């Protein structure tokens, strides 16, 4: 999730406008930044690793004397944070910035290399600059962009310049955000309105498959099919901070709502449904070693630990590999039995968690094959593991992890299919899992339609001081994650417990003031879960049940309140069941007046032991 900005107009300080815009977009990613400004038909590009201030030090006099330019603040997806991987990317006289993922960049890159193109970065984005450059041999700028769009697949917002047509800027949007600001002196466009509102409150929101051609005086929107499109200008009513949150009250809520795209981005370009295969580029180098692996140990902390537990169920059931999950903070203080037939997988959003890093170092020391499932590209865990898979979830600003979790689960599904198909998982099973995984972004969206009901339930239960979160099989880890969320955000004491284990002691706590949230989807353990509900009801406890759509009426006989989730494969229910629990925690925290984005005593990345 990078941030992009473009400016074209009559004002003579494009550099200034772009730098200011980048600073406001830094929350979208900040591992490197770059800018390309034009003066006449001469371009000048500057790049720097780190925050925008590093770039600012380099740009000097080009802050002014420039009437057009593009800029980018990066959150790495393909290629580590470095000057050469920073945007803008160029080929010949074409310069561009990109936010998103080009799924088929490898095959396009190979074709372009054969035609003599020389690449200077490891990014997927650079391929688009070369493609447009290639088409520019026989076409004008606009035609070359249209031609390139026919070839690229994936999610992208692009802003492009050509030194051959210095009075023109072209932007496109497909599944990555892009907003146009219509100011008195020109046009500012950006990934979100926070980089625009200091210039104008008049905006145009682009839709997917739209292309815009700007000159300093005017702009024209076309569809990818080449038809002109009328777009209505709207008036922004947000302040700076609201704009960064895209109108959501908190980053946590925004990130909960970003989960359909976080899941889509995690699986984008990594699924070949017809062959029932997961294509994981980051594992290519260790593919053969993985074939010989006899055991998996997952090490992680907090929410990432809960993701690991779901992974254990998936990997054992569908890939047939014995799997254990360890709190990373415990791992190196006992004597972990690791050998070269063991794969040790670190799951970490930040890639910097000290406990997880130490566990990985210990595993390496013992000769294990180390893998990372990491969101932050180029982070220490990503660098120190032998191989890995990036989440592509974009930066998570809210301290409580939400979209990183569903993204981690999506990767674990891909890994299960990858390892399963190396072993005895059938083609039919591979296809079944992957085609259902593909449907999850839409199914998560459906849960949001029940938002009012979830908020009502959260408001009703915030008065309690303690709660149980119970689940069985695939949803036991989700009970743990739900309990962790409500603890962190609303400071309600909660225990995440296996629903079948509760009767062995904790049930003593149940009374009318100790409610339980129970994960009760219609799965293979549904009847057992119903028994747990009955045991709680018999002791006067209140129950909130999370169940599968269509089962509401039946479960209402047992539960006080019900939240429905769409139907899916049992192994995928955690990706849906966690969403209402995140919302319950969020609304409870808001109701109690807490700062849900920065809960007390917590840090986003725990880099100390």
Which residues are identified as catalytic? 2, 604
Q: Give the nearer residue to ligand F6R in terms of CB position, either 435 or 605.
A: 605
CA 531 to CA 555: how far, in whole Å?
12
Binding to ligand F6R by CB under 6 A, coded x per residue (else -) over 49-88, reads: ----------------------------------------
Binding to ligand F6R by CB under 6 A, coded x per residue (else -) over 255-294, reads: ----------------------------------------
> Strand runs (DSSP E) across 387-492, as ranges?
387-390, 466-471
Enumerate residues 474-503 that contact ligand F6R by CB under 6 A.
Answer: 484, 488
Which segment (8-16, 181-189, 348-356, 468-476) binds ligand F6R by CB under 6 A? 348-356
Q: Answer left, alpha or beta for residue 315, where phi above 0 means left and psi between -120 and 50 means alpha.
A: alpha
Candidates 259, 349, 385, 573; binder of ligand F6R (CB under 6 A) is 349
Does residue 43 belong to the site contacting ligand F6R (CB under 6 A)?
Answer: no
CA 94 to CA 464: how far, in whole Å?
60
CA 177 to CA 204: how far, in whole Å?
12
Which segment (119-127, 214-222, 254-262, 301-309) binds ligand F6R by CB under 6 A? 301-309
In the numeric block, which tokens belong to residue 284? 């290519």
Q: Provide the minimum distance between the beta carbon of 572 and ligand F6R in the complex, in angstroms, as a whole number.
A: 21
Give the residue nearest to ligand F6R (CB). Answer: 302
Beta partners for residue 416, in sequence order:
none
Q: Provide the minimum distance between the beta carbon of 268 and ligand F6R in the complex, in angstroms, as a whole number.
A: 21
Candidates 90, 342, 350, 573; binder of ligand F6R (CB under 6 A) is 350
Does residue 410 belong to the site contacting ligand F6R (CB under 6 A)?
Answer: no
Which segment (223-231, 236-244, 300-308, 447-455) binds ligand F6R by CB under 6 A? 300-308
The residues near 404 (Cβ < 8 Å, ≥ 6 apart) are 262, 303, 304, 349, 375, 391, 393, 396
Q: Give the nearer residue to ligand F6R in terms of CB position, either 305 or 514.
A: 305
Element (H, E) at 240: helix 240-244
Candidates 356, 410, 568, 573; binder of ligand F6R (CB under 6 A) is 356
Does residue 606 belong to the site contacting ligand F6R (CB under 6 A)?
Answer: yes
Which segment (2-10, 113-121, 299-307, 512-520) binds ligand F6R by CB under 6 A? 299-307
Binding to ligand F6R by CB under 6 A, coded x per residue (else -) over 442-481, reads: ----------------------------------------
Which segment (342-350, 411-419, 420-428, 452-460) binds ligand F6R by CB under 6 A? 342-350
Query: Which among 319, 525, 541 is positioned nearest to 412, based on CA atoms?
Result: 319
Candidates 90, 121, 136, 353; binder of ligand F6R (CB under 6 A) is 353
Q: Provide the minimum distance between the beta carbon of 43 and ligand F6R in the complex, in angstroms, as a whole number.
A: 39
Q: Give the nearer residue to ligand F6R in terms of CB position, either 141 or 331.
A: 331
Which segment (103-111, 118-126, 345-353, 364-372) binds ligand F6R by CB under 6 A? 345-353
Element (H, E) at 556: helix 552-556
Q: Provide the minimum distance between the beta carbon of 407 and ligand F6R in the complex, in angstroms, as a whole number.
A: 11
The residues near 508 (Cβ < 8 Å, ≥ 6 apart) are none
User: What does the angle CA 206 – CA 207 – CA 210 come to, to the nearest 5 degrees?
Assistant: 80
CA 396 to CA 548: how far, in whole Å?
29
SS3 352: coil
User: What does the angle CA 331 – CA 335 – CA 336 come to, to the nearest 5 degrees?
Assistant: 60
Candidates 348, 499, 548, 568; binder of ligand F6R (CB under 6 A) is 348
User: What does the angle CA 528 – CA 496 – CA 438 come to, to the nearest 5 degrees?
Assistant: 75
The residues near 488 (Cβ < 8 Å, ≥ 6 apart) are 399, 400, 585, 599, 602
CB atoms within 10 A of CB 175: 16
Element (H, E) at 361: helix 354-365
Size of the site for ligand F6R (CB under 6 A): 15
What would you measure as the largest C-alpha separation in the chain, in angstroms? 79
Query: Which among 13, 18, 5, 15 is positioned nearest to 44, based on CA atoms?
Result: 15
Q: 91-115 burial, b if ≥16 CB within 10 A, otherwise e?
A: bbbbbbbbbbbbbebeebbeebeee
Q: Provide the minimum distance between the beta carbon of 607 and ligand F6R in the complex, in angstroms, as a whole number.
A: 9
Candidates 401, 410, 499, 516; binder of ligand F6R (CB under 6 A) is 401
What is the residue whose two structure tokens read 């009318």?
512
- According to DSSP, residue 175 is labeled B
Q: Provide the minimum distance between the beta carbon of 377 and ligand F6R in the complex, in angstroms, as a whole number.
A: 13
Q: Give the nearer residue to ligand F6R in terms of CB position, either 90 or 353.
A: 353
Q: Provide the minimum distance between the beta carbon of 373 and ligand F6R in the complex, in angstroms, as a whole number.
A: 9
Q: Give the nearer residue to ligand F6R in terms of CB position, either 267 or 596.
A: 596
Candidates 304, 329, 407, 529; binder of ligand F6R (CB under 6 A) is 304
Q: Answer left, alpha or beta for residue 316, where phi above 0 means left and psi between -120 and 50 means alpha.
A: alpha
Does residue 400 belong to the site contacting ligand F6R (CB under 6 A)?
Answer: yes
C-alpha distances out from residue 121 to 51, 61, 80, 240, Å: 20, 27, 10, 34
- According to DSSP, residue 316 is labeled I
Q: Provide the minimum distance between the beta carbon of 236 and ligand F6R in the complex, in angstroms, as a whole number.
A: 32
Q: Provide the minimum distance between the beta carbon of 446 and ligand F6R in the complex, in angstroms, as a whole number.
A: 24
Does residue 302 belong to the site contacting ligand F6R (CB under 6 A)?
Answer: yes
Does residue 303 belong to the site contacting ligand F6R (CB under 6 A)?
Answer: yes
Does residue 370 belong to the site contacting ligand F6R (CB under 6 A)?
Answer: no
Does residue 325 belong to the site contacting ligand F6R (CB under 6 A)?
Answer: no
Q: Provide the minimum distance between the beta carbon of 415 and ligand F6R in the complex, in angstroms, as a whole number.
A: 16
Going by their DSSP bridges, the two strands 369-374 and 342-348 should be labelled as parallel
Query: Which among 331, 349, 360 is positioned nearest to 403, based on CA atoms?
Result: 349
Number of helical H runs and strand E runs in the chain: 20, 27
* Residues binding ligand F6R (CB under 6 A): 301-304, 348-350, 353, 356, 400-401, 484, 488, 605-606
């Amino acid at each position: 999730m990078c941030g992009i900005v473009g400016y074209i107009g009559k004002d003579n300080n494009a550099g200034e406008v772009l730098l200011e815009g980048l600073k406001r977009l830094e929350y979208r990613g900040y591992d490197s930044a770059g800018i390309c400004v034009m003066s006449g038909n001469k371009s000048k590009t500057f790049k720097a690793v780190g925050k925008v201030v590093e770039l600012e030090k380099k740009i000097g006099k080009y802050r002014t004397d420039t009437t057009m330019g593009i800029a980018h603040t990066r959150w790495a997806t393909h290629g580590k944070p470095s000057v050469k991987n920073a945007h803008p990317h160029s080929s010949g006289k074409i310069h561009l910035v990109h936010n998103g993922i080009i799924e088929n960049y490898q095959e396009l890159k190979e074709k372009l290399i054969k035609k003599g193109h020389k690449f200077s970065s490891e990014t997927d984005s650079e391929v688009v600059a070369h493609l447009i450059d290639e088409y520019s041999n026989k076409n004008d700028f606009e035609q070359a962009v249209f031609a390139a769009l026919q070839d690229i697949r994936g999610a992208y917002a692009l802003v492009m310049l050509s030194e051959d047509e210095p009075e023109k800027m072209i932007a496109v949007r497909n599944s990555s955000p892009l907003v146009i600001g219509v100011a008195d002196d020109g046009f500012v466009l950006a990934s979100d309105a926070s980089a625009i509102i200091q210039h104008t409150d008049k905006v145009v929101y682009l839709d997917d498959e739209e292309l815009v051609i700007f000159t300093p005086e005017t702009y024209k929107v076309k569809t990818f099919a080449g038809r002109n499109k009328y777009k209505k200008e709207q008036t922004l009513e947000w302040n700076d901070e609201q704009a960064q949150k895209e109108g959501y009250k908190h980053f946590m809520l925004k990130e909960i709502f970003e989960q359909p795209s976080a899941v889509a981005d995690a699986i984008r370009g990594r699924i070949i449904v017809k062959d029932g295969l997961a294509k994981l580029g980051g594992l290519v180098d260790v593919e053969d070693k993985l074939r010989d692996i006899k055991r998996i140990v997952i090490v992680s902390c907090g929410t990432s630990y809960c993701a690991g537990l779901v992974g254990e169920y998936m990997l054992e059931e569908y890939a047939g590999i014995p799997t254990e999950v360890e709190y990373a903070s415990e791992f190196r203080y006992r004597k972990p039995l690791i050998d070269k037939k063991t794969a040790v997988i670190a799951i970490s959003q930040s890639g910097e968690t000290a406990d997880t890093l130490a566990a990985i170092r210990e595993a390496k020391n013992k000769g294990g094959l180390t893998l990372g499932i990491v969101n932050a590209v180029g982070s220490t865990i990503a660098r120190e593991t032998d191989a890995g898979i990036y989440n592509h979830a974009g930066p998570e600003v809210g301290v409580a992890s939400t979209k990183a979790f569903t993204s981690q689960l999506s990767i674990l599904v891909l890994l299960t299919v990858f390892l399963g198909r190396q072993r005895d998982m059938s083609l039919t099973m591979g296809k079944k899992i992957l085609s259902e995984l593909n449907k999850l972004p839409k199914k998560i969206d459906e849960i949001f339609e029940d938002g009012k009901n979830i908020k009502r339930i959260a408001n009703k239960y915030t008065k309690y001081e303690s709660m149980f979160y119970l689940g069985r099989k695939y949803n036991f880890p989700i009970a743990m994650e739900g309990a962790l969320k409500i603890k962190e955000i609303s400071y309600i004491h909660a225990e995440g417990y296996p629903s079948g284990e509760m009767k062995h002691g904790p049930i003593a706590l149940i009374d009318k003031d100790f409610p339980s949230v129970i994960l009760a989807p219609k799965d293979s353990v549904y009847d057992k879960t119903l028994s747990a509900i009955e045991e709680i009801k018999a002791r006067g406890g209140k129950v909130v049940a999370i169940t599968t759509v269509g089962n509401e009426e039946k479960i209402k006989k047992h539960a006080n309140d019900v939240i429905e989730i769409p139907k899916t494969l049992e192994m995928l229910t955690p990706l849906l069941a966690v969403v209402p629990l995140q919302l319950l925690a969020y609304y409870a925290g808001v109701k109690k007046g807490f700062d849900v984005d920065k809960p007390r005593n917590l840090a986003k990345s725990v880099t100390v032991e």
